[in-house]
Amino acid sequence: MTDKVHSGDEPGSSLDPSADEIRRWGNAAIEAMASYIDSIRDRRVYPSTTSRQIREKLDRALPDEGVDFDRLLKTFNDVIVATSRHNGHPRMFGYVQAPGTAIAAIADLLASTLNANLTAWRSAPAAVEIERLTIDWIKQILGFSADAGGLFVSGGSMANLAALAAARRAKAPEELLNKGTQSLPQAMRIYISEETHHSVAKAAVLLGLGRDNVRMVGVDERFKIRVGDLITKITEDLAAGHLPFCIVGNAGTVNTGACDPLREVIAVARRFNLWMHVDASYGGFAALAHSARDLFHAMHEADSVALDPHKWLYLPVDCGCVLYRDAEAARATFAHEAEYTRVLEQEPEEAFAFWDYGPELSRRFRALKVWMMLKGVGLRALGAAIEKDLACARHLERLVRASEDFEMLAPVELSIFCFRYVPPRLKRARASADEVERVRIDEQLDALNERLLIELQRDGSSYLSNARLGGRFSLRGCVMNYRTTFRDMEILLDDLRRVAGSELAIG
């Protein structure tokens, strides 16, 4: 056996360290990982720091010579961990943010070690089979037929883009493929609710459809799409000579967690022969929770669905997913022949290429963490964790409705909660005020809650984000963490009351 050839003699300078050195690095890194996870509840959610302070702690000189691994790990612990927002903290309620799990983090390490590039079966046979298998599992979770297609992408935004590209290709005249949208005699129209994630409108712009052709449909008092308004807008566009081609329904909006009446919306799509896409990036995997299952019964009837396993499968980013009810519709959109990508194998399963079904060519082994998570944890435990998240959000809603100093601004449907702080004196004043005075008080509450949000984030014990609902500023949170308990919801309100006391004292 020949000795390894190293690129230098100094520790850390070798591109190909010995097995013993790798073990030493790995043990130290795993210890750092275990210590971090073990202490996550005791940390501030958000660091008290500035951009300048972080830069000052980093050696900013372009490194000509390497340093040893211990120094790198020390910087990771002392600077990067210490000045990060801790997304795994049980009171990290900002945005739709999952904590990740230890088993999935290790899966990412192993995937990076193998460094498989999942372009086609010939490039990564075992990795491609793992992705095919996990996509099949996700189809089963949502009730899709076995012949449906799908693949992993970077996230929900990319999944929405891929689905809309397939929708455009499926519903546009043939000349679109060669001459582009400018060749079409009609403007192609897509229909979304006022609560749909901005990535859908962004995808429409990137696809050349134009922002003006994204038709906003109104929502009801529960922030769900108004089906009557949807039908009216489609009918108007047909009469005006436009080409309606796609409806996007929501399985959990990012503002309030509202789920559109999918069966009704799908019926509208079928009536007008439109592509039906569902953005389930946030809510889709809540189908694993018994109490939410009925919200997703019709989802398998959609033409495409966007999902984010890196949300409610508790995986680290990045891992999105797009499913197609008809895989050939996706292939007609993305397949593109080039000699350097031509697959020579004759058997269809070995001739398979992911680039025929999505926009990416180079693709990392995202499926490994999905496979390890599902196999290592199981659907029963995942469903119980999601159910607990839903219960925590409902507990917060009950606490708010029973309080004298908070009020809900939207009903809780999944695990997002929107509310605001209302000092009792302002609540009493508003109850007896005329309409002009109520508007003034609401403006005061908007300003107060905006200041509270900033101070709460600086405080570091809990973290919320914000939304604007019906013109009102809302404190917004999302429970998506297997560590979060009912007690954490109570601590959140206590933190807000404490911060509000200081804010009002100063004011």
Whether 330 and 303 have beta carbons less than 8 Å apart is answered as: no
Domain final residue, candidates 377, 393, 408: 377
Which structural domain range is residue 425 located in?
A: 381-506
User: What CATH number is associated with residue 131?
Assistant: 3.40.640.10
In the chain, the percentage of residues whose pLDDT exceeds 70 is: 94
Return the HEC string of 165-204: HHHHHHHCCCCHHHHCHHHCCCCEEEEEECCCCHHHHHHH
Are 277 and 159 in a shared domain?
yes
Residue 98 lies in a domain: no
Q: Choose between 172 and 348: higher pLDDT.
A: 172
The overall average pLDDT reported for the chain is: 93
Number of Cβ within 10 Å of residue 124's Cβ equals 21
Strands across the sheet containing 406-408: 406-408, 416-421, 472-478, 465-469
Residue 441 lies in a domain: yes
Q: What is the pLDDT of residue 340?
A: 56
Q: What is the pLDDT of residue 1?
A: 45
Residue 186 lies in a domain: yes
At residue 506, does pLDDT exceed 90? Answer: no
User: What CATH number is associated with residue 472?
Assistant: 3.90.1150.170
d(CA 465, CA 456): 10
Are 316 and 395 in a shared domain?
no
Q: What is the pLDDT of residue 8?
A: 46
Are 422 and 348 in a shared domain?
no
Closest CA to 472 of 495, 449, 494: 449
Tally of CA atoms within 13 A in the half-sphere of 111 that contains its CB:
25
At residue 325, does pLDDT exceed 50? Answer: yes
Question: Using one digit for the tens of pLDDT, what is the confidence trace for 128-158?
Answer: 999 999 999 999 999 999 999 999 999 999 9
d(CA 387, CA 490): 18
Are 410 and 478 in a shared domain?
yes
Tokens 């302002």, residue located: 426
| CA dist list (Å): 21 to 33, 209, 234, 430, 498 | 18, 54, 64, 68, 50
Close Cβ partners of 129 (under 8 Å, ≥ 6 residues apart) = none
Are 407 and 372 in a shared domain?
no
Residue 91 lies in a domain: no
Are 221 and 174 in a shared domain?
yes
Are 363 and 391 in a shared domain?
no
Q: Torsion over CA of 378, 379, 382 and 388, rounded to 10 degrees?
A: -140
Are 176 and 281 in a shared domain?
yes
At residue 329, does pLDDT exceed 70? Answer: yes
Tokens 């607990």, residue located: 388
Q: What is the pLDDT of residue 503?
A: 61
Q: What is the pLDDT of residue 4?
A: 52
Domain final residue, candidates 340, 361, 377: 377
What number is the average pLDDT over the span 449-465? 97
Strands across the sheet containing 243-250: 149-153, 320-324, 304-307, 275-280, 243-250, 188-193, 214-217
Are 73 and 115 in a shared domain?
no
pLDDT band for 348, please (50, 70, 90 cuts).
confident
What number is the average pLDDT over the span 432-439? 91
Are 413 and 273 in a shared domain?
no
**Quick one: tokens of 124?**
């990564």
The dihedral region occupied by 62, where left means phi > 0, alpha psi between -120 and 50, and beta the remainder, is: beta
